[in-house]
């Protein structure tokens, strides 16, 4: 307890720096979830995607990142065990931030889209189990995470396959694709707007101060969906094309329509992602600050200091803008060839999976969700349409994320513990 009083300011400063590193890694690696398909399908250029994502990730993280956060990520650690040794929890959370941030930067360098949530959870498991005791970890949560490696991408892949095949049958395989698009695309817009509104309202706005009941939230989502569908129908009905134009020109115009839809879905996904995954960086940081400010008390929830949320938001944006292109390229170009219609199917499938999984209480990784959705779109065109080497590397990176995060956290935990012991 005494060491927290004497060196509290140092611990907070170190935690803030490593929290920024973690946020930087989240921005560099995870933002590809929102923008990878848009860039790969040529709906947006890489520069456009980065600026759009920077704006919506920042607004999501800053305005909807939460005034109160769970300091012990995902219920992984039993906080009561640390009541007598709060300094060890502070050391461990700092080590977890550095470990997860380091792994994210390594994975990003190689273009591997990994789960930021699993990175930080693995790190917390590592320092807690080895540094304090295996009984401090809720191991049933670990089993859920391992299960998500299969459940999440498979579910998203099935959704993406079905959405893409429906568009293929209803629009692209018809005699007049543009006429079919004018007829059916408004329905896709209603569905997309509902899913995106649901993700944004339930995930992105829950801490803004809008206390909507479940019924009110549903009514808002339905209203937004119908409005977007109506606007879309009016806009699409005004599209003119030469009746004598060949089918390829029809296809080009239909893809342009889906390209516009993708920009809308990408903005919503970026906002929702910023509001959610900023917690991976600021959750452990808030835990350290809470322990120092409370004089050594270990609290499950703490009010965020005013500077923590902006720190996370800025870190995400800088990470995206300086180092995010590598993973965006992997998602958008290296797994399979994407067009706007294929990218739209993948993005909506990913968002739908987030909605369904959240409702069922299943563990979810936005990274694995989107990769699974892109795989589903590729499978619709046959196994030859997939880059199996890239897919193998991605799956290996998923499996090793948890143990590498844990191993790095153990090493950093003992380094920090020994350094503090010398002060």
Q: What is the pLDDT of residues 217-247, one digit of tens each?
A: 888 889 999 998 898 888 777 766 666 666 6
Name the pLDDT band for 30 (thresholds 50, 70, 90).
Answer: confident
How far is Cα 126 from Cα 142, in angstroms, rounded to an integer?
12
> Residue range 330-338: average pLDDT?
87
Mean pLDDT across the chain, nearest whole number?
82
What is the structure's pLDDT at 16?
Answer: 94
The more confident residue out of 390 and 81 is 390
What is the structure's pLDDT at 72?
Answer: 45
- The CB density around residue 414, as the number of other CB atoms within 10 Å, is 15
What is the structure's pLDDT at 210?
Answer: 63
pLDDT at 5 over 50: yes
What is the structure's pLDDT at 299?
Answer: 65
pLDDT at 270 over 90: no
pLDDT at 405 over 80: yes
* Residue 240 CB-density burial (10 A; 0-12 exposed, 13-18 middle, 19+ buried): exposed
How far is Cα 41 from Cα 333, in angstroms, rounded to an integer?
8
What is the structure's pLDDT at 422?
Answer: 67
pLDDT at 66 over 60: no
Q: Which of 95-99, 203-207, 405-409 has the lowest mean pLDDT?
A: 203-207
What is the structure's pLDDT at 246?
Answer: 67
pLDDT at 335 over 70: yes
C-alpha torsion sign, points 370, 371, 374, 379: negative
**pLDDT 10s digits, 113-155:** 998 888 988 898 998 888 778 887 878 777 777 777 778 889 8
* Residue 352 CB-density burial (10 A; 0-12 exposed, 13-18 middle, 19+ buried): buried
What is the structure's pLDDT at 67?
Answer: 45
What pTM was estimated for this model as a whole?
0.84
Half-sphere exposure for 415 (CA within 13 Å, toward CB) = 11
Distances (CA, A) of 228 to 57, 187, 215, 223, 255: 22, 10, 20, 9, 19
> Residue range 197-202: average pLDDT?
74
What is the structure's pLDDT at 68?
Answer: 39
pLDDT at 48 over 80: yes
What is the structure's pLDDT at 189?
Answer: 87
Name the pLDDT band for 268 (thresholds 50, 70, 90).
Answer: confident
> Residue range 204-208: average pLDDT?
54
What is the structure's pLDDT at 283?
Answer: 81
What is the structure's pLDDT at 411?
Answer: 94
What is the structure's pLDDT at 1?
Answer: 61
């Amino acid at each position: 307890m005494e060491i927290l009083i004497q060196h509290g300011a140092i611990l907070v400063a170190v935690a803030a720096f490593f929290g920024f590193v973690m946020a930087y890694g989240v921005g560099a690696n995870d933002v590809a979830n929102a923008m990878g398909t848009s860039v790969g399908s040529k709906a947006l250029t890489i520069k456009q995607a980065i600026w759009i994502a920077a704006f919506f990730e920042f607004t999501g993280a800053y305005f909807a990142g939460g005034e109160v956060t769970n300091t012990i990520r995902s219920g992984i650690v039993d906080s009561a065990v640390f009541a007598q040794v709060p300094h060890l929890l502070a050391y461990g959370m700092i080590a977890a931030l550095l470990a997860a941030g380091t792994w994210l930067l390594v994975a990003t360098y190689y273009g591997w889209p990994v789960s930021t949530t699993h990175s930080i959870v693995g790190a917390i498991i590592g320092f807690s189990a080895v540094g304090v005791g295996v009984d401090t970890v809720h191991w049933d949560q670990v089993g859920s995470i391992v299960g998500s490696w299969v459940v999440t991408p498979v579910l998203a892949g099935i959704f993406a396959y079905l959405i893409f095949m429906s568009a293929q049958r209803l629009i692209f395989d018809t005699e007049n694709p543009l006429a079919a698009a004018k007829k059916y695309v408004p329905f896709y817009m209603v569905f997309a707007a509902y899913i995106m509104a649901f993700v944004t309202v339930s995930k992105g706005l829950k801490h803004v101060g809008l206390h909507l009941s479940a019924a009110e939230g549903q009514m808002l989502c339905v209203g937004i969906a119908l409005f977007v569908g109506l606007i879309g129908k009016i806009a699409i009905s005004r599209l003119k094309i030469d009746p004598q134009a060949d089918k390829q020109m029809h296809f080009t115009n239909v893809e342009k329509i889906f390209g516009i839809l993708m920009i809308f879905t990408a903005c919503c996904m970026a906002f929702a992602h910023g509001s959610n995954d900023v917690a991976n960086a600021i959750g452990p940081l808030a835990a350290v600050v809470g322990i120092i400010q409370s004089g050594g008390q270990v609290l499950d929830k703490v009010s965020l200091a005013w500077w923590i949320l902006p720190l996370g938001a800025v870190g995400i944006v800088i990470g995206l803008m300086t180092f995010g292109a590598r993973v965006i390229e992997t998602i958008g170009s290296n797994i399979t060839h994407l067009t706007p219609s294929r990218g739209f199917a993948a993005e909506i499938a990913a968002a739908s999976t987030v909605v369904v999984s959240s409702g069922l209480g299943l563990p979810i990784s936005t990274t694995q969700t989107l990769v699974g959705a892109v795989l589903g779109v590729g499978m619709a065109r046959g196994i030859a349409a997939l880059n199996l080497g890239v897919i193998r590397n991605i799956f290996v990176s998923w499996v090793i994320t948890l143990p590498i995060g844990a191993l790095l956290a153990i090493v950093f935990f003992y380094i920090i513990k020994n350094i503090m012991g010398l002060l």
